[in-house]
A = this chain, B = another copy of it.
């Protein structure tokens, strides 16, 4: 069954079986009206960022084919790349069994980076640990793609 998101918005939440196995998109937004979106590079599978969408940003993403989020820190709509040029062309959108998360598979435009501190992925650090319980972070990307200070004054 299809829903018309221009006319009706998203379908209301249905019974468990329909949500988990059906063909109707009925996303579950949390108490803040948000749903988590994990964003991976379409070619490499690298996780680039995790963002949050409200219904309107999800609708804009589906309609325009470019990723829109809701900025929790700035409390405003945020088209990724609107300032930086790091626009995410959305090649595939998926949702999970209980429809409380979104997966965007994207091609990154502009300088090819996603992170506002200059790296390709926001997940540019890995967690290291030893048997004594010591934990620390280590760079997983050799070098940043760009210098945020030079490009846009370190604004996301």
Interface residues of A (CB under 8 A from B): 1-7, 10, 20-25, 36, 38, 40-41, 44-47, 49-50, 62-63, 92-97, 101, 103, 115-117, 119, 121-127, 129, 132-138, 140
Contacts beyond the supplied A23-B138, A38-B38: 7 A-B pairs with Cβ under 8 Å: A5-B135, A7-B133, A38-B47, A44-B45, A45-B45, A93-B127, A97-B122
8 closest A-B pairs by beta carbon, nearest first, are: A45-B45, A6-B133, A96-B122, A2-B136, A93-B127, A50-B101, A94-B123, A38-B38
- Tally of this chain's copies: 2
| Cross-chain contact of A134 among B2, B22, B46, B101 (Cβ < 8 A) | B2
Contacts of A93 in B (CB 8 A): 126-127
Residue of B nearest to A156 (CB): B97
Chain B, residue nearest A115 (CB): B97
How distant is the Cα of A75 from the Cα of B129 in the complex, in angstroms? 28
> Is B4 a contact partner of A136 (Cβ separation < 8 A)?
no
